[in-house]
Chain A
Amino acid sequence: MIVADRKPIEEIIAEIKEHEKILILGCNECVTVCEAGGKKEVGVLASALRMYFLNQGRDVKLDEITLERQCDHEYLEEIRDVIDQYDAVVSLACGVGVQFMAEKYHTMPVYPGVNTCFLGVTEKRGLWTERCQACGQCILARTGGICPVSRCAKRILNGPCGGSTQGSCEINKEISCAWQLIIDRLKALDRLDDYEQIDPIKDWSTDRAGGPRKVEREDVQQ
Chain B
Amino acid sequence: MNLKRKFDAGEFAVLAEMEPPKGVDVSTMLSNAMRVKGEVDAFVIPEMSNAVMRMSSLGGAMILQGKGMETVMQVNCRDRNRIALQADLLAANGCGITNVMAVAGEDPSFGDHYQARSVYDIDLLELLNAIRGLQDGKDMAGIELSGSPQFLVGSTVDAGAKGKSPELEIEEMTKKIEAGVQFFISPPLFDLSAIHPFMKRVDIQKTKIIPTVLLLKSLGMARYIMRNVDNVYITDSLIDRIQKSPDKVRECTQIASEMVTSLKKEGFSGVNLATLGWEHKLPEILERI
Contact = CB atoms under 8 A, between A and B. Distances in A.
Interface string A173-215: 0000000000000000000000000000111110101110000
A211 B107 contact: yes
Contacts of A207: 117
Interface residues of B, number: 8
A207 B107 CA distance: 14
A201 B115 contact: yes
B69 to A, nearest CB: 36
A202 B115 contact: yes
B278 interface: no
B118 A205 contact: no
Interface string B23-45: 00000000000000000000000
Contacts, number: 19
Contacts of A203: 115
A105 to B, nearest CB: 28
B192 interface: no
A86 B238 CA distance: 58
A202 to B, nearest CB: 7
A149 to B, nearest CB: 11
Contact of B109 (A201, A202, A211): A211
A204 B117 contact: yes
A209 B107 CA distance: 10
B185 to A, nearest CB: 26
Nearest to B116: A204
The residue among B107, B109, B116, B117 with the most chain A CB atoms within 10 A of its own CB is B117
Contacts of B118: 209
Contacts of B114: 205, 210
Contacts of B109: 205, 210-211
Interface string B71-96: 00000000000000000000000000
A55 B108 CA distance: 54
Contacts of A210: 108-109, 114
Interface in B100-127: 107-109, 114-118
Contacts of B108: 205, 210
A212 to B, nearest CB: 12
A211 to B, nearest CB: 7
B267 to A, nearest CB: 41
B102 to A, nearest CB: 21
A209 B108 CA distance: 9
Nearest to A201: B115
Nearest to A206: B115
A207 B109 CA distance: 12
A94 B131 CA distance: 37
Contacts of A204: 115-117
Interface string A27-45: 0000000000000000000
Q: Which 6 A-B pairs have the closest CB atoms?
A: A209-B117, A203-B115, A204-B117, A205-B115, A205-B114, A209-B118
19 contacts: A201-B115, A202-B115, A203-B115, A204-B115, A204-B116, A204-B117, A205-B108, A205-B109, A205-B114, A205-B115, A207-B117, A209-B116, A209-B117, A209-B118, A210-B108, A210-B109, A210-B114, A211-B107, A211-B109
Given A204-B117, A205-B109, A207-B117, 5 more contacts: A202-B115, A204-B115, A204-B116, A205-B114, A209-B116
Interface of B: 107-109, 114-118
